[in-house]
Structure 1
Amino acid sequence: MTIPLVVGIDGSEASLEAVDWAADEAVLHGVPLHLLHAAARDHEASELIDAASERVRKGAPSVQLSSEVLHEDATAALVDEGRNAYALVLGSRGLGGLSGMLLGSVSLAVAARADCPVVVVRGAAEHRNTRFGNVVIGVEEGEGSGTAVQFAFREAHARHCRLVAVHAWSAPFGAISTPHVSSPYAPRTHRRPPARVLDDALREASEQYRAPVSRRVIEGPARQALLEAASEADLLVVGARRRQGHLGLQLGLINHAVLHHAPCPIAVVPRI
């Protein structure tokens, strides 16, 4: 049995946009789509499920569709559902979002705790409806990006588009900027030259998926580099490490920034 792509719905416009994105994604990968509405109390749950189901049937009639209503905390229900999901798809804002918030509390909490990839459908409709032909992956130093790189390659391969791999780095004050050459500062900044970090991270997945790759080694803040690349992307992918001794993931400042500001859908992929 193929595990489903799960989309959380709450009746907000953002969650309906997530339904549309998830339906297209389910078609792209040939997986079932499962609609989940979770709330402690909601007398309109059946109407929300019916409306979302009708939306899927009109936009993606070939998708194998199922649905579920759970009377419990939304974050807990989604995280639990994610233990057996291809990915979780969420809107960027919920019905309970405060004015001015850039990301709903449920979406942020699920992205920080789920065991599977979590896609937050961000960005203006004009951006999402434009095919840029790029999937962007942020690659960090260390081992936190491996699963995310596999996910990003798979997405680029399925979309028949380019993978844009971005690795941003910063030399310590006073060090010479030499991204291709080892220096005495390497133990404190990079164990390997930045270009090699990128090459090593991409090597295994590039042998499995035949997608064209564009490499970008950028000296500067990772947040800025990823947001600039995402301005012409169909999807931005970032990795998340497990927190030592704690449940959930280590999203970090960069992931928080792109989750709040990315102009396109963003996938947070936990390290396995």
Structure 2
Amino acid sequence: MNARAERGGAGPLVVGVDGSEPSLRAVDWASDEAVLRGVALRVVYACLWDRYEGGAVARDIGRPTALPLPQDIVDAAAERARARHPDLRVTTDVVLEEPEYALVREGRKASALVVGTRGRGGLAELLLGSVSLAVAAHADCPVIVLRGSHDNQATPPVHGRIVVGVGEDPKEPAAVRFAADEARRRGVTLEAVRAWRCPAHETTDHPLLVGEPDRLHEERAAEELETALRDVPADIEVRRRTVEGHARRVLLDASHRADLLIVGARRKEGHLGLQLGRVAHGLLHHSACPVAVVPHREGDA
């Protein structure tokens, strides 16, 4: 159990900013999400330098004749959030630390983290920035990465659909529970997707799968989907889909018709590497819509 669960109640929604125009647009999305959740918004700028070291500065940030100070960046983000939602409680912080470490630490007290796709200073170190990737791989709370058409804000919904990918272990409830809550907040359909494949070595000569290997694999996928959805409240509209194919390809296709794509990521105690899995890693690089990575630790209920 994490610190915010022990305290009771929800922590703030944290959004990481870096002074770029995309990061300020991420503040719009995060502001909408905070209002939906009924929580405060916390704006964080983290960097090892006491002056801006990035690329192009967003137009909303002042000091036109000089590089902005870190406080200028968070002040501009907070002003933008308050202009969008005047009643939203907004706090800011400047942390002189590597952003991936600072944001992961912020996640210990947050209801969720929101980050953009770009690396520190706006440089595309990978298809997904290294900071966003590290945060999604290590944070204790859900991390929403604003991929793809992230200008489609949290409200109003564009596609009217939240998509959650159900993995091989349907007894892990964290991602489905998060997806159900997001669908309820927005008043949209929850689409649960279970990809399945028939292994190449399973032919009609297999003693347990004589004649119908595909059908049996699809039936098993449907059963796993029902197990994963067993605790979704009845007032949420749920669409169930079992699709033959690689999970990454199936979910990438679904991302073109979703306002938010949600996947789980298992966390292992003491493991220092990226804790995402191949499917989540691929979605963070290529999804057409924002992606939420929801951590699950063994033993969590």
Task: Report if TM-score (shorter chain) is over 0.5.
Answer: yes
Looking at structure 2, the residues matched to 69 and 22 of structure 1 have their Cα atoms a distance apart, in angstroms, of 18
1:65-104 equivalent positions in 2, closer than 5 A: 65-99=90-124, 101-104=126-129
Unaligned runs of 5+ in 1: none
Unaligned runs of 5+ in 2: 1-8, 52-68
Q: What secondary structure is seen at the aligned counterpart in 2 of 1:62?
A: coil
Question: What does residue 161 of structure 1 align with?
Answer: 188
Moved more, 59-68 or 239-248: 239-248
Question: What does residue 295 of structure 2 align with?
Answer: 270
**Matched residue count:** 264
Looking at structure 2, the residues matched to 58 and 127 of structure 1 have their Cα atoms a distance apart, in angstroms, of 18
Looking at structure 2, the residues matched to 126 and 63 of structure 1 have their Cα atoms a distance apart, in angstroms, of 20
1:219 and 2:244 aligned:
yes
Give the letter aligned to residue 71 of structure 1.
Answer: L
Coordinate RMSD, CA, aligned? 2.6
Looking at structure 2, the residues matched to 95 and 174 of structure 1 have their Cα atoms a distance apart, in angstroms, of 45
Question: What does residue 34 of structure 1 align with?
Answer: 42
1:125-164 equivalent positions in 2, closer than 5 A: 127-128=152-153, 131-143=158-170, 145-164=172-191
Identity, in percent, stands at 50
Alpha-carbon deviation of 1:121? 0.8
Q: Deviations over 1:58-105 (max 9, x none)?
A: 111111111111111111111111001000100111353545832110
User: Which residue among 115, 120, 124 is the counterpart of 2:140?
Assistant: 115
Q: Which has the larger radius of gyration?
A: 2
1:144–1:41 CA distance, 2 compared to 1 (3 A)? farther
User: Which residue among 242, 249, 252 is the counterpart of 2:267?
Assistant: 242
Cα contact 1:145–1:240 (8 A) shared by 2: no
Q: What secondary structure is seen at the aligned counterpart in 2 of 1:16?
A: helix
Question: What does residue 105 of structure 1 align with?
Answer: 130
Q: What secondary structure is seen at the aligned counterpart in 1 of 2:159?
A: coil
Q: Deviations over 1:240-271 (max 9, x none)?
A: 00136414663111111100111111100001
1:183–1:62 CA distance, 2 compared to 1 (3 A)? farther
1:60–1:133 CA distance, 2 compared to 1 (3 A)? same
